[in-house]
Structure 1
Amino acid sequence: MTTLVWDLYARCYDVIAGLSPYRKMVFDLMDLVPERPRRVLDAGCGTGNLTLALSSKSPGEAVAVDLSPVMLEVSRRKNPDVAHLRADLDGDLAELPGEFDVILCGNVIYALADPARTVELLKKRLVPGGLLLVTTPRAGAGVFPILAEHIRERGIVSLWRVILPLLVVGVINARLLTASAHHFLTRDQLREVLGTDRIRTTYSGQAWLAVYQDS
C-alpha cells in the first residue's frame, strides 16, 4: 500500500489495541523480551504500541522506526523518551543506529517487498545472542476470529463506542488480506524466511509468532 493509506490507517489503528486478542499478542511478545535489554529496535513501530509495552522491560535504549510520518507522530506522543526515525524497511536499513539485543517486528514483514531480504538485514543488526521477534499474519488469516474472541471475552457492547473506526480498520484490513503484493506465509515459508523452528500462533490463531536467536 501507499504511504498515504498507511497514514490513514495510523489515525484509526489504535482501536485494535483495545481488542483482547491484540493485547494478548502484545503480551506474548513481551514475555519473550528479556529484562533490561541494552538496546531494542521496534522495526515498523506503527503507532508505537509495542514500543510502549517495552517500558515494562526497562530497556537501556529503545529505537522505533517506521516509514509513515503519521505513524511516527502517534508513536512519539505515546513514547516521548524513545528515539524515532523514519526508515524504509524495504531499503538498505542504513538509517539504523548500530546493533541491538532485541529487534521486534510486529505484523510488518507481510507488507514488505522482499521479507527474506529485510529479515537478513535485520539479523545483521543483532548482537551475538540477540533476538529477532516476529509476528505476521498467517496464510488464510481473517479478522472475524479476532472479533469473535473479543466479543466472547468482553461482550459486544464493548465495541459500540469504537464501531466507526473499527469499520475503517476492517475495510483496510480486508484490503491488506487480499492484496496480491503481500506475503501471508505458511509455517514452512516463515521457517525458511527466518531460519527458525520456534514458531507458534498468536492473535486468535490468525498470526504467527516466531523467535530467531543469533548464534
Structure 2
Amino acid sequence: MDATGKARRVWDQAAPRYDRQIAFLERHWFTGGREWLGERATGRILDVGVGTGRNLPHYRADATVTGIDLSPEMLAVARRSAQRPVDLREGDATRLPFPDGSFDTVVCALSLCAIPDPRAAIGEARRVLVPGGRLLLLDHIGSSRPPVRAAQWLLERVTIRAAGEHFTRRQLPLVRAAGFEIVEVERLKAGTIERVYARRS
C-alpha cells in the first residue's frame, strides 16, 4: 500500500474517535488556533484536510466554503456535524481537483504534518489561489528548544510508521520556497506550534 492509501486507512479508522481525542489538545496545545484561522479567512475558502470539520464554525457567515479530505469517514463526520452550507469532497491535497485561481483563501490546519508530500500540497494551494490570495496554516512543528525537539524526534520513530505523522517538520521554508509572501507568523508552545499567514504574490 502506498503512502496515500495508508494515510486514508489510518484516518478512516480514526474518524469515529477523532473529535474526542483532539478536544483536549485543542484546549491545551493548539489553543485558539482555529479561531485565528477563521479571523483571517475570507471569500471563497478551500479547507484542505478538512477532516471532521472542526474549522467550519469559525469561518465568517458570508464565506463560501469547500472542504477536501483524503478520508471518506472523516468527511462523513463533517457532513453530519456541519452547521453551515459547505461543499465537502474526497480528494488528495497534492492533486487538488480545482482549476487555477478558484479560491481567495486556502486553509490547512493540522494536516501538513501527515501529508506525504507537503511541498506538493503547498504548490497546489498556490495554484488554486487567486493572485493575492491567502494561505493560512496551523500545525505542530519541530520545537525551537533542543530537548523538546529530541523528544519529538523519538516520538516520530513511532508515529511516522504508524500514521505517517511527523513532529519535526516545519512548513514555513516550504511556503517561502513556493513563492509566497509571508504576512504573519506566530510560533507558540515552546516553538512546537506555528501559525502562518502568507499571500500569493
For the residues of structure 2 that align with 1:71 and 1:178, how far apart are their CA atoms? 19
For the residues of structure 2 that align with 1:96 and 1:78, how far apart are their CA atoms? 28
**1:2/1:118 CA distance change after superposition, 3 Å:** closer
Name the one with the larger helix percent.
Answer: 1
For the residues of structure 1 that align with 2:189 and 2:62, how far apart are their CA atoms? 25
Q: Deviations over 1:113-159 (max 9, x none)?
A: 22111101111111121111011211159xxx9xxxxxxxxxxxxxx
Q: Is 1:199 matched with 2:180?
A: no
Equivalent in 69, 78, 85 of residue 75 of structure 1:
78
**Runs ≥4 in structure 1, deviation > 4 angstroms?**
95-98, 174-177, 180-183, 202-205
Tell me the equivalent position of 1:119: 122
Offset at residue 9 of structure 1 (A): 1.6
For the residues of structure 1 that align with 2:99 and 2:50, how far apart are their CA atoms? 13
Offset at residue 203 of structure 1 (A): 6.4
Q: How many equivalent pairs are there?
A: 176
Mind listing any 5+ residue stretches in structure 1 that lack a counterpart? 146-173
- Greater RCO (CA < 8 Å, at least 6 residues apart): 1
For the residues of structure 1 that align with 2:190 and 2:61, how far apart are their CA atoms? 28
Q: Is 1:6 matched with 2:14?
A: no
Normalised by the length of structure 2, the TM-score is 0.74
For the residues of structure 1 that align with 2:37 and 2:157, how far apart are their CA atoms? 22
Give identity over the alignment, percent.
27
For the residues of structure 1 that align with 2:156 and 2:12, how far apart are their CA atoms? 15
Offset at residue 63 of structure 1 (A): 0.3
Q: Is 1:26 matched with 2:31?
A: no
For the residues of structure 2 that align with 1:177 and 1:206, how far apart are their CA atoms? 18
Q: Deviations over 1:158-186 (max 9, x none)?
A: xxxxxxxxxxxxxxxx6797316544446
Whether the 8 Å CA contact 2:137–2:197 is kept in 1: the answer is: yes
Whether the 8 Å CA contact 1:139–1:184 is kept in 2: the answer is: yes
**1:76/1:202 CA distance change after superposition, 3 Å:** farther
Tell me the equivalent position of 1:86: 90
Cα RMSD, aligned residues only = 2.9
For the residues of structure 2 that align with 1:104 and 1:64, how far apart are their CA atoms? 9
Whether the 8 Å CA contact 1:39–1:59 is kept in 2: the answer is: no
Q: Deviations over 1:176-204 (max 9, x none)?
A: 97316544446xx5332001553222467
Matches within 5 A, 1:63-212: 63-79=66-82, 81-90=85-94, 92-95=95-98, 99-140=102-143, 178-179=159-160, 182-185=165-168, 189-195=170-176, 197=182, 198-202=184-188, 205-212=191-198
**1:72/1:41 CA distance change after superposition, 3 Å:** same
Offset at residue 76 of structure 1 (A): 0.8
Offset at residue 101 of structure 1 (A): 0.9
For the residues of structure 1 that align with 2:189 and 2:80, how far apart are their CA atoms? 26
For the residues of structure 2 that align with 1:184 and 1:190, how far apart are their CA atoms? 11
For the residues of structure 1 that align with 2:69 and 2:197, how far apart are their CA atoms? 21
Paired residue type of 2:45: V
